[in-house]
Amino acid sequence: MSGQLVTFVPIFVFIAILLGFVITNLVLAHTVGPKKHTPVKEMPYESGMDPVGDARQPFDVKFYLVAILFLVFDVELLFLYPWAVSAYVEGQHGKYGEPLSATHLGHDSPGIPYELRGTVFGVMLVFVATLAIAYVYAWRKGVFKWR
Amino acid sequence: MNFSPLLAEGSSDAVENLLHWLCGLVGIPVQVGVPLILILATLGTILGACSYAIWLERKLAAWIQDRVGPNRVGWAGLLQPIADGAKFLLKEDIIPAHVDKFLFVIAPTISVFTTMLALSVVPLGPTTLGEGFSFIIAPKIDIGIVFLFSVTSLAVYGIILGGWSSNNKYSALGGLRSSAQVVSYEIPLGMSVIGIALMAGSLNLETVIDAQAKSGLFGWNIWYQPLAALIFFLAALAESNRLPFDLPECEQELIGGYHTEYSALKFGMFFLGEYTHVFTVSFLCSVLFLGGWHFPYIAELESVGILATVLKIGVLLTKVLAVIVVIMLLRWCLPRFRFDQLMGLCWKAMIPLSLGNMVCVMIVREFELSWFWLPVSSFALFCTAGVLGFKPAPVTARRSRSVEQLIAGHH
């Protein structure tokens, strides 16, 4: 296995154990404990009233708008993470007193070269500004207004 | 074979030797064996800690509300969690007739599975970047924070599926609200951490602690990122559905919210998932902002040895416990938000603030300004938001005299 993948072995072990744990719980839930079916017990619990209609009804379109906006911002976050990690790494003497390179993690990730730093900074500013415009547009359109 | 691993040089080495020795005893490869031991220890601890967190929460609630709290089972009710666990197991597990059976069964398992899996990259004790042993299930994962957020955000599927499959109006409403809430608060949660990533140059939680521990008490991120810390804490509260953000399951409106139809062990799994999430959040707050296992004079970067390891674990767990207690106190001291307030807080306040905070960190790093400007800019942003957000109470919100008299007359 390559060096990168080896670090993920514990996660796979954990996934296996968690699956076992969860399945055990489900089996226990279905075997231990009494089982007495009555019609009333199998009705939806709606404060003792007989339920009227189906619970799966159309709902407000606002939730859909929020979901779309979430996608915009979340994808933006995914773009920001790699930048944030690599932007000020290489040779940078940070506040913490020594170069904050990733070399002590066991493999080198050089980060953005010093001479490109200004360009990247400008690009990021444009990126954030674009996002801010989209945000203001959504606000003006009343997406954040809940009755 | 080394039969006295605890006497070896250095604390982390001693622990590592002990674990390797154990692996050799059972005969499994070290790459699998060491995480296996850590996982089992973590799982056991979390299960125990969850039940006792519930006990602690009930005692705190009782103290705040001037009651006695659980005091029947065992001394001071200390055996209550065990009795509760037995009750979860022995009660009847009802699957109502009208539900979507497959999704209904799978929803609580998703909730437990994802919240537990998130713990795999969280430091649970002292960590080292070098050769030594780190108390993390999966150490040296460079995408730590991204992995953590992506896994915890999957927990919302448990809530949505639970609410939808129940075919109950309370559940459906709870699931719907929760999906909008969790999805929205994920953005400030993720964005507030970008400042940390810019400062530490890594998404690995071990590196983040290391960077803080290097410059002592005033290296802790909370001094440079107070606004981010506040936003992160509040967003994390909302993510784990705790009061004052527990709209998905507010008892007075929605009975149990998305888990109205759940009973016995399935309900217990939702509960376990929620408390595990609270633990993860507390660990994250301690690690990202409060210096992790570092504390001046008690647990420093240089200190090695068995005693240092124990102290570091103690310091980290104390910080975590403090955050948990704050979360619990908030639950019993604050009223619940209204849904429009909740969404407004996220979209109109926390997201622009975290974006602004990120730009400030960016500027400070780019022009190599003094880090003194970070808390200043945080404070300035906070005050600006306060001034912009202030508006006098609208006249319609005040009750007119006649309405008050009408209500008074009814009583």
> What's the confidence (pLDDT) of residue B123?
86
* Residue range B344-370: mean pLDDT, rounded: 87
Which chain A positions have a beta carbon within 8 Å of B171's beta carbon? Answer: 55
* Residue range B233-239: mean pLDDT, rounded: 89
Residue A99: strand, helix, or coil: strand
Alpha carbon distance B183, A74 (integer Å): 9
Alpha carbon distance B316, B136 (integer Å): 13
Residue B299: strand, helix, or coil: strand
* Residue range B88-115: mean pLDDT, rounded: 86
* B219 Cβ contact partners less than 8 Å away, ≥ 6 residues apart: A95, A96, B211, B212, B213, B291, B294
Does B44 lie at the interface with A, CB-CB under 8 angstroms?
no
Which of A21, A57, A100 lies nearest to residue B200, judging by beta carbons?
A100
Q: With CB atoms and an 8 Å threshold, state whether B201 touches A36.
A: no
Which of A10, A41, A55 lies nearest to residue B167, judging by beta carbons?
A55
Q: With CB atoms and an 8 Å threshold, state whether B167 touches A139.
A: no
**Mutant choice from B42, B45, B92, B193 vs A, greatest count of A C-beta within 10 A:** B92
Alpha carbon distance A83, A73 (integer Å): 15
Alpha carbon distance A15, B116 (integer Å): 9
Residue B260 · residue B164 · CB < 8 Å: no
- pLDDT tens, position by position, B5-57: 444 444 456 777 777 788 778 777 777 777 788 888 888 888 888 888 888 88
**Average pLDDT of chain B, as a whole number:** 81
Per the model's pLDDT, the better-predicted residue between B164 and B138 turns out to be: B164
pLDDT at A32 over 70: yes
- pLDDT tens, position by position, B193-228: 998 888 887 888 888 888 888 877 788 888 888 899
pLDDT at B279 over 50: yes
- pLDDT tens, position by position, B245-254: 776 666 666 7
Q: With CB atoms and an 8 Å threshold, state whether A33 touches B93.
A: yes
Alpha carbon distance B55, B61 (integer Å): 10
Which residue of chain B comes nearest to A54, CA vs CA? B167
Q: A68 to chain B nearest CA, in Å?
A: 10
Residue B393: strand, helix, or coil: coil
pLDDT confidence bin for A104, thresholds 50/70/90: very low
> What's the confidence (pLDDT) of residue B95?
83
If one counts every other C-beta atom within 10 angstroms of the C-beta of residue B366, the result is 18
User: What ipTM was predicted for this assembly?
Assistant: 0.81
Per the model's pLDDT, the better-predicted residue between B314 and B13 turns out to be: B314
- pLDDT tens, position by position, B287-299: 988 888 888 887 7
pLDDT at B74 over 60: yes
Closest CA to B255 of A49, A109, A63, A53: A49
Residue B172 · residue B164 · CB < 8 Å: yes
Q: What is the CA radius of gyration of chain A?
A: 26
Q: State phi, psi for A99 to the nearest 5 degrees.
A: -55, 130
Residue B381 · residue B231 · CB < 8 Å: no
Type of residue numbered B246: D
Q: What angle do CA B178, B281, B186 make, to 5 degrees?
A: 40
Residue A93: strand, helix, or coil: strand
* Residue range B158-182: mean pLDDT, rounded: 84
- pLDDT tens, position by position, B102-143: 888 888 899 899 998 888 888 887 777 766 677 887 777 778
> What's the confidence (pLDDT) of residue A7?
78
Which chain B positions have a beta carbon within 8 Å of A146's beta carbon? Answer: 339-340, 343-344
For B381, the token pair is 């942003």
Q: Where are the alpha helices (DSSP H) in B215-350?
A: 221-224, 226-239, 251-254, 264-288, 306-333, 339-344
- Predicted model pTM: 0.85
Which chain A positions have a beta carbon within 8 Å of B139's beta carbon? Answer: 7, 10
Q: A145 to chain B nearest CA, in Å?
A: 7
Q: Which of residues 120-149 of B touch A (CB under 8 A)?
A: 120-121, 129-130, 137-142, 145-146
Alpha carbon distance B151, A14 (integer Å): 13
Alpha carbon distance B122, B287 (integer Å): 8
Closest CA to B18 of B32, B1, B31: B1
Percent of chain B at pLDDT > 90 equals 7
Q: With CB atoms and an 8 Å threshold, state whether A43 touches B96.
A: yes
> What's the confidence (pLDDT) of residue B400?
55
* Residue range B302-322: mean pLDDT, rounded: 84
Q: B138 to chain A nearest CA, in Å?
A: 5
Which residue of chain A comes nearest to B170, CA vs CA? A46
Per the model's pLDDT, the better-predicted residue between A55 and B312 turns out to be: B312
Alpha carbon distance A97, B327 (integer Å): 34
Q: Which of residues 273-332 of B touch A (CB under 8 A)?
A: none
Closest CA to B217 of B304, B116, B292, B118: B292
Q: With CB atoms and an 8 Å threshold, state whether A9 touches B31.
A: yes
**Mutant choice from B183, B218, B276 vs A, greatest count of A C-beta within 10 A:** B183
Q: What angle do CA B24, B25, B27 make, to 5 degrees?
A: 60
Alpha carbon distance B398, B382 (integer Å): 28
Residue B310: strand, helix, or coil: helix
DSSP string, B135-151: S-SS-S-TTHHHHHHHH
Percent of chain A at pLDDT > 90 equals 5
Burial label, B376 (beta-carbon count in 10 A; 0-12, 13-18, 19+):
exposed
Q: What ranges do the domains of chain A cover?
A: 56-140
